[in-house]
């Protein structure tokens, strides 16, 4: 077990997700935590927390400022920063700013697959 723990600590990523107004307000302290490697932004939940709706259009000042604040804090503390992108076009844009991007989410992927398969079955 001691060898595994040493290897695991050297090779695993510790990622913290920020997706609320409280997370944004405390982002500098969160990013300062030793051992945290990456900050992941959950933009849909963040939009709901900040704006009261999802998805964000992407140009709302409060939303943009929150994203910028998270990215700046992550960079200041030497953390990777990542986010969810809702589609391929946004993913391409986000990769200009973020270290990694998760494209879409599981429910959408399953829904898209079922929709395509049902269209085939009904044709």
Q: What is the rounded CA–CA span in Å between residue 89 and residue 106? A: 18
Tell whether the torsion through CA atoms of 44, 72, 88 and 36 is positive or negative.
negative
Neighbouring CB atoms inside 10 A of 18's CB total 27
Average pLDDT of span 23-37: 97
Which tens digit of pLDDT belongs to each residue from 59-92? Answer: 999 999 999 999 999 999 999 999 999 888 999 9
Q: How many domains does the chain have?
A: 1
Output the pLDDT for position 4.
81
Average of per-residue pLDDT values in the chain:
92
Q: What is the rounded CA–CA span in Å between residue 7 and residue 107? A: 33
* Of 94, 101, 95, 105, residue with least CA distance to 40: 101
Average pLDDT of span 23-30: 98
Neighbouring CB atoms inside 10 A of 79's CB total 23
Output the pLDDT for position 1.
67
The model carries a pTM of 0.82
CATH number of the domain encompassing residue 35: 3.20.20.60
Q: What is the rounded CA–CA span in Å between residue 117 and residue 122? A: 9
Instruction: Name the H helices within the chain.
Output: 2-11, 21-25, 27-31, 43-51, 61-76, 88-94, 106-122
Which tens digit of pLDDT belongs to each residue from 1-18? Answer: 678 877 877 789 999 999
Residue numbers of the domain that contains 100? 2-122
């Amino acid at each position: 077990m001691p060898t595994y723990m040493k290897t695991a600590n050297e090779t695993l990523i510790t990622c913290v997700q920020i997706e609320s107004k409280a997370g944004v307000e405390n982002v500098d302290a969160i990013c300062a935590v030793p051992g945290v490697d990456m900050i992941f932004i959950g933009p849909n939940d963040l939009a709901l927390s900040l704006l009261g709706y999802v998805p964000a259009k992407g140009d709302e000042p409060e939303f943009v400022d929150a994203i910028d604040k998270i990215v700046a804090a992550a960079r200041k503390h030497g953390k990777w920063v990542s986010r969810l992108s809702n589609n391929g076009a946004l993913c391409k844009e986000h990769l200009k700013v973020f270290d990694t991007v998760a494209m879409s989410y599981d429910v959408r992927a399953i829904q898209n697959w079922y929709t395509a398969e049902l269209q085939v079955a009904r044709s």
